[in-house]
Amino acid sequence: MMQATDKQENPTRSGLVTAPELKRHGFFRNVFSGIKSLLEGMKVTFHYLSHPSTVVTQQYPENRATLKMMERYRALLTMIHDENGLHKCTGCQICHDNCPNASINVVTRSNPVSGKKELDRYIWRMDSCTFCNLCVQVCPFGVLKMDGSFEGAVYDRRLFVFTLNHYAGPAAGLLAKVADPEERKKMIEPRDRYSGPVPLNGQELAGVKALKKAESGCCGGSGGCCSDSQGSQGSKEMK
């Protein structure tokens, strides 16, 4: 048996490595070298059996406390809110236009006080998102970031469509210019995760049926209770 590790340089062409040929020998040499090769393989596997420290299994979810995703890991699109709960999104819709599969829907409104165009709802469809990161890259204000919280599984895919911003209103910079706190309060309106034109709020999207509106309350931000999609559909039809 020829050792496969033997590098056989081909002299005719430089910069080439040619595969070694497997040679046959006599019957007994074949048998013995064959048995030897088998034993060598068994040595490799036995090494791992006898060294439990080589185990690479991660005991998820038991290791949740120590499991750290890399900081750049792309699992969940989030809108950065500062310590006062303010974001910097102006509702310019660049991300909306750059999203390859229309997973981002930026709904704007005009401010009730100033009348300026501003963000109403930043709706993200996690179900169709491919996590290509283009939205994060193109945002001129650094509003978005990809978060590493990968535990996004839910029982109903309609829960994958939700609102990212915590309030509708002007961006942090603009809001800072408003001196009067009362005025400020008037300009902002809180937004929760499952409000607005999302299936949980009775709206249909392409390929996603709407959920009954009455149920949206129970789902809140956690999700999970609306697992029986068929059932909720049925109850809707009965009405």
Partner 1 sequence: MTGITENIWQAKTVAQRAAEALPESVWFALGYMVLGVVGVAAFIAVLGMGLIYAERKIAGHFQCRLGPMRVGWHGIFQTVADTLKLLLKEDVVPAQADKFLHILAPLFTLLGTILVLAVLPMSPIVHVSDVNIGVVYVGAVSGFGVLGILLGGWSSNNKWSLLGAMRAGAQIISYEISATLALLVVVLFSGTLRLSEIVESQAAGWWIWRAHGVGIVAFLLFFIASLAEINRTPFDIPEGESELTAGFHTEYSGMRFAFFFLAEFINMFIVAALTATLFLGGWMPFHIGDFAGFNAIMDMIPPGLWFTGKTAFLVFLIMWFRWTFPRLRVDQLMRLEWKVLLPIGFANLIAAAVVVLFNFYFFPVR
Partner 2 sequence: MSVHITTLDDRVRLRQDDSSPLSTQEYFVNMGPQHPSTHGVLRLVLKLDGETVREVIPVLGYIHRGIEKMGEHQSYRQFVHLSDRLDYLSALINNWAVSMTIEKAANIELNDRIQVIRTLMAELQRIQSHQLWWGVFGMDLGAFTPFLYGFRDREIIADIFEETVGARLTMNYIQPGGLMYDIHPGFVKRVKAFLQYFKPKLAEYETLLSGNVILQERLRGVGRMDGQTALSIGATGPVLRASGVPLDLRKSEAYGSYGKVAFDVVIGKNGDCWDRYWVRLEEMRQSMKIVEQLIDNIPEGKHMVMKPAVKIKLPEGCYYNQVETARGILGVYIVSDGKESPYRIHLRTPNFNNLWAITETAANWRLGDLVAILSSLDVVVPDIDR
Partner 3 sequence: MDSANLLTAVAAAEPNAKPREKADRAAVQVPVGNLSALMKRLRNDSTFAFDMLCDHTAVDWSEQGTFELVYQLYSTVHGHYLMVTTSVPRVSPIVPTVREFWRIAEFQEREVYDMFGVLYDGHPDLRRLFLEDDWKGFPLRKDYTDDFMLERPE
The site partner of 46 among partner 1, partner 2, partner 3, none (C-beta below 5 to 8 Å per kind) is partner 1
Closest C-alpha among 33, 146, 129, 31 to residue 80 = 146
Among 2, 17, 20, 31, binds partner 1 (CB under 8 A): 31
Q: Write the CB contacts of 58 (distance below 8 Å, at least 6 apart in sequence).
A: 67
153 touching partner 3, by CB under 8 A = no
Left if phi > 0, otherwise alpha if psi is -120 to 50, otherwise beta: which for 169? left
Give the pairing type, strands 161-163 and 117-125. antiparallel
Residues 205-224 contacting partner 3, CB under 8 A:
205-207
Least spacing, CB of residue 128 vs partner 3, in Å? 10
- Taking the complex as a whole, how short is the minimal distance between the CB of residue 98 and partner 3, in angstroms? 12
The residue assigned the tokens 């499991």 is 67
Instruction: Give the interface segment with partner 3, choosing from 4-12, 20-28, 137-145, 203-211 (CB under 8 A).
Output: 203-211
CB nearer to partner 1: pick between 35 and 102: 35
Q: How far is CA 105 from the centre of its chain?
A: 17
What distance in Å separates the CA atoms of residue 22 and residue 20, rounded to the nearest whole number? Answer: 7
Give, as ranges, the residues between 32 and 91 that touch partner 1 (CB under 8 A): 38, 41-42, 44-46, 48-49, 52, 54-57, 59
DSSP for 115-136, please give it. --EEEEEEEEETTT-----HHH
- Residue 126 CB, nearest approach to partner 2 (Å): 15
Q: Is residue 204 a contact point for partner 3 (CB under 8 A)?
A: no
Closer by beta carbon to partner 1, 3 or else 45: 45
Produce one character per residue of 130-152: b if its CB has 16 or more CB atoms within 10 Å, e if not.
eeeeebbeebeeebbbbbeeeee
Where do contacts with partner 2 occur on this chain (CB under 8 A)? Answer: 1, 3-5, 7, 10, 13, 15-22, 30, 33-35, 37-38, 40-41, 43-45, 56, 69-70, 72-74, 94, 98, 100, 130-134, 137-138, 140, 146
Where do contacts with partner 3 occur on this chain (CB under 8 A)? Answer: 101-102, 105, 205-207
